[in-house]
Structures are given as structure tokens and as C-alpha cells.
Structure 1
């Protein structure tokens, strides 16, 4: 009896796992680039010095927000969007699967 309950619970757990995996939605206007954070609000995007907008958000691979100063000195492949002033307002740090 216990083995049967265990197998049913195991089956339900295994079938629910794919529902936890999701693809992050990126806007159609998102661009791909190589980012190196500098001293806030400046970053280097594809070899050019750019500025983050005052309300810029940087999402890491786990889809949580990182502070720009915590990322300083590391190179990463990202998707990003720009506002009407040309400042970068949203950045998504890509996983290896998303980058390929």
C-alpha cells in the first residue's frame, strides 16, 4: 500500500517538473550584446561606453534583479532594450542556452 502511494506521488512529481521550466519572454525590440559593467551608471556594451537609465533593471539568469555595482568587472552576453533617450533601461543576463 505504501509503495503504491509512493509511486503515485513520484509520478505526479515527475510530471509536474516540466511546468516549472519556462522561457523568459524578451521584447521584440531587445538587442543582443556583450556587456561589461563599469562604475554606475556607465557600462560598456559591445566595446562602447553607454549609460543605464535612472530606473534601469538588470535581470540575472534566475530572473531576479541584480544591482549594477554587484556585477562590475565581469563580461556577459545580454539582451537589452533602450529608452527614447538612447539609455539602456532593461538588461537580461543570458544563460548559456539562451545565448546560443
Structure 2
């Protein structure tokens, strides 16, 4: 039993305009900027950084290691890198690039926990750690007092 009384045309001819629109969208997507160039300047918002955040220069070597203020450091498994727009940046998209950042280290492991890529105005504001090297929570020698 045939319920359709109209002649059936092939789907490609019936929805020709939909196929053309899909091809146009594919062309637009392929013209997008590469992932490496997608860290853009901030949108003029004022981001509140944690009090414990320090200033430094960060270069991601791999997705697990980085160079922070000239010294190698491991990144925590849940490390978050924020763009100037305060969105998450996937570490593999910015490998080898150097950024001025505010960062937080995990207190128990000393690993890099979070970093915020700074805009020019944010980088101009003074912050603790901008002139010092990476510190550690480990004390040794005569300076350690045990009670």
C-alpha cells in the first residue's frame, strides 16, 4: 500500500539548498584561525586573582611540564590555564609559547595548580613574585625547627 500520491524524487535533488548551505558552512569552518593563535587580548573585565597568586613567566614544554621563571616545574593533573577572557585554554594548544601569568602552586606538592594569562594592564600591576624565583614549602638544614 502506497500512502504517498506524489512522485518521489531523489533526496539530493529535493534538498539541494540544504546541501549548498552545509558546504558553505564547511568552508567557513576551515577558514577559522589556527588553535595556536586563539589566545586574544582580554575584554576589559577586572578579574579577581587569589591572594596566594604569584607573578611569573610561563612556558609550557609538554602537557605535564612547564618552565616557570626559568625553572622546570611539573603541572598538577588538574592544572587549569585561563585565557585573558577567563576561559579555559587547553595546554596542548599553546605548547612552546611564553606568557606573563599569575599562578598558584599546590601547597602539598609544589606543582603548578592554576595560571592566568595576563593582559597588558594586568601585567602592569605590581604583584608578589614578579622578581623572585619559584619557592618551595620544604625547609632543610639549621633553619628547620622541630617541636
TM-score bracket relative to the smaller structure: 0.7 to 0.9
**Cα distance between partner residues in 1 of 2:44 and 2:102:** 20
**Cα distance between partner residues in 2 of 1:31 and 1:72:** 21
**Cα distance between partner residues in 1 of 2:91 and 2:58:** 11
Alpha-carbon RMSD across the aligned residues, in angstroms, is 1.3
Pick from 30, 35, 42: which aligns with 2:65? 42
1:19-78 C-alpha deviation (Å, 9 max, x unpaired): x95310100000100011111100000000001100010001111000111111111100
Q: Which runs of 5+ in 2 are unaligned?
A: 1-42, 125-147
Give the aligned partner of residue 26 of structure 2: none
Give the aligned partner of residue 118 of structure 2: 94
In the superposition, the TM-score normalised over structure 1's length comes to 0.77
Q: Secondary structure at the match of 1:66?
A: coil
Q: Which has the higher strand share?
A: 1
**Corresponding position: 1:29 with 2:63:** no
Give the length in aligned residue pairs.
81
